[in-house]
Structure 1
Amino acid sequence: MKNKYRILKIAITVIILGFLLSFSLKKFSGQKITDKQISVKMNEKTPVYFVDEKDIREIVKKENPSGEVGDLDIPALEKKINNLPAVDSANVYLNLNGKLNLDIKQRVPVFRLNKEGRDFYVDEKGIEFPISKTYSHPCMLVTGNVNKDEYQKLAELVEKIDKDDFSRKYFIGISKDRNGNYNLLTSESNYKVEIGDLDNIDFKVKGFKTFVEKYLVYQDPEKYSRVSVKYQNQIVTTLNPYFKENDSVLQAGNKELAKAPVAAVKKTGAQPKLTENKISSTQAKPKESIKKKTVTKPQKTKKTEQKPTAAKPKKKATVKIE
């Protein structure tokens, strides 16, 4: 009998608790979610403003027009916010007091890429997302046909530049040329720093830093159009042809190039054609001499005229020094 009474008491208690729970849930589901009960938090370390709190509140209202707790589909709302291009992650949950919490982390651009006429941002994970009409984030500008598999290394390069005082002072942009070489754009002058590929970046930047501190500080930066550090253990510079002090140097170099080496290359490269032309011209002369003079021997003239043409290529071959 005692066991029956215990079972009966437990059953009655469960029924009462279930009734109270259903009543509280019904009352809770009919509760309104006011603007004060919506909490939106942005959890990114670097402040960005691609997504506004006002925009999030409007999404909540569209997903739950009635504003009641029972009509709110939390998984669908969370998915809707996560699908925003500038949102990295979103966590939506509801407290027992009816407060709706939305913890959102936005994407932070590492660089802005101009590729094939399109402008978009790339975050540290290498994910593309469009630029905003209302907000522009200050970051490194990259131009050129950059492949998606290079985004990660490019993001690492930009982060290294931002963390280093010297690099942050000198480099304001990155470009990729048609040959696939990367160039760092400088702030002090119009010259580029050619780094080639995205490997051994620390070593290349260190080499350029040494070049600046030990040599470039004593020169006019306008003197150069390019400084290449892509080669191992050497730095190659290209003079700026529009810099006045370089005019005499470039003109002298052009004069030297216009002398013997260029002429020798042209002569040696055109030897077969020249010898053939000379032979054909010598063969034409005996025909004219036959008309004017009655006594001529074409066979002998061919032999005598072919000798100097055969000797000339030997002399020309000795002229080539390169």
Structure 2
Amino acid sequence: MKKITAYIAFVALIAFLFFLYGFSSNRNGAKKVKNTVVEFEEGDNNFLTHNMVDKMLIQNQKFVENQPKSVVDLHFLETNVSANPYVEKATVFLTINGVLKTLIKQRKPVARIVNNDSIFYVDNFGMKIPLSTNFSARVPLVSGVGNAEEIKELIQLLQAISSDDFFKKEVIAIERDAQNEYFFTVRTGDYKIAFGKLESVPLKFKKLKAFYNKALIDGTIKKYKVINVKYHNQVVCTKHNQDGKQ
């Protein structure tokens, strides 16, 4: 008899707990979203504005603020925000206090590509990013690159450039010709660097750095029109109005 009584009490307790949970859930779900907060990771609020993100937080053709928490589809909202071409990663969640928070990591452009029919940025993953009226990124201008395979190769070159503080500031434009060779436009003079194909990259930058260390000190770098690092173990330079070797 005691066992039966204990069993009934246990079942009653479980039922009561379920009732409290359901009651609490219903009350919580009936509460409305009282505010929305948008936060940009790492402070990189560049392409997007808070107002632009708010316009993505639309459900049932209405802004989510003041809608019941129970009808808010967080997965739908997160997918909607993530679909924006400026967004690399998005997280959307509701706090206990009824605040809808959206955390966004924006895509970081590494180059601005100019083609015959289009202009766009690309990030480190090779993803295309449209231009924006809100922000203009200071990244190298690139021409002669268009398809996915060419962009992938470009990213490798850009990573090599950005790994050196000097060349990261020095190279302002990159051109890829029909022979798949690269040419750099630089910040410190009116000469160009003929880098050649994407091969022996560390060696080429090492030769180029050694040349810069000498030519910038003695001032001879101003005499050159083209600095060519395509050839093995040498830097070949073309002077203005005459040819020469360094």
The reply to whether residue 213 of structure 1 matches residue 202 of structure 2 is no
Q: Please state whether the residue corresponding to 2:175 is helix, strand or coil.
A: strand
Contact kept? 1:124, 1:152, Cα under 8 Å: no
Superposed counterparts of 1:277-316, under 5 Å: none
SS class of match (1:179)? coil
Partner Cα distance (2:183, 2:70) in 1:
58
Q: Does 1:99 align with 2:99?
A: yes
Q: Corresponding residue for 2:38?
A: 40
Name the CA distance, whole Å, in 1 between partners of 2:7 and 2:239. 98
* Residue 215 of structure 1: how far off its partner (Å): 4.3
Matched with 1:293 is none
* Correspondences of 1:13-52 after superposition (within 5 Å): 13-35=13-35, 38-43=36-41, 45=42, 47-52=44-49
TM-superposed CA distance for 1:88, in Å, is 0.8
8 Å CA contact retained: 2:33, 2:68: yes
CA distance in 1, matches of 2:10, 2:97: 29
CA RMSD of aligned residues (A): 2.4
Ranked by relative contact order (alpha carbons within 8 Å, sequence separation 6 or more), the top structure is: 2
Measured at CA, do residues 162 and 220 of structure 1 come closer, stay the same or move farther in structure 2, by a change above 3 Å? Answer: closer
**Mapping for residues 229-248 of structure 1, pairs under 5 Å:** 229-241=229-241, 246=242
Counterpart amino acid of residue 98 in structure 1: G
Distance 2:54 2:198 in 1: 43
Larger radius of gyration: 1
Is the 8 Å Cα contact of residues 225 and 239 (structure 2) preserved in structure 1? Answer: yes
- Does 203-212 or 155-164 show the bigger shift? 155-164
TM-score normalised per structure 2: 0.86
Identity %: 30
The structural deviation recorded for 1:200 is 2.2
Residue in 2 that maps onto 1:60: 57
Q: Which structure 2 residue ranges, 5 or more long, are not aligned?
A: none
Residue of structure 2 in register with 1:72 after alignment: 72
Cα drift, residue 147 of structure 1? 3.7
More moved, 170-179 vs 127-136: 170-179
Q: Equivalent residue for 2:187?
A: 187
| Amino acid across the alignment from 2:193 | V
Moved over 4 A (4+): none
Change (3 A) 1:57 1:169: closer
The worse-fitting range, judged by mean Cα deviation, of 103-112 and 160-169 is 160-169
- Please name the residue that 2:227 is paired with: 227
Q: CA deviation at 1:46?
A: 6.8
Larger helix percent: 1
Is the 8 Å Cα contact of residues 74 and 93 (structure 1) preserved in structure 2?
A: yes
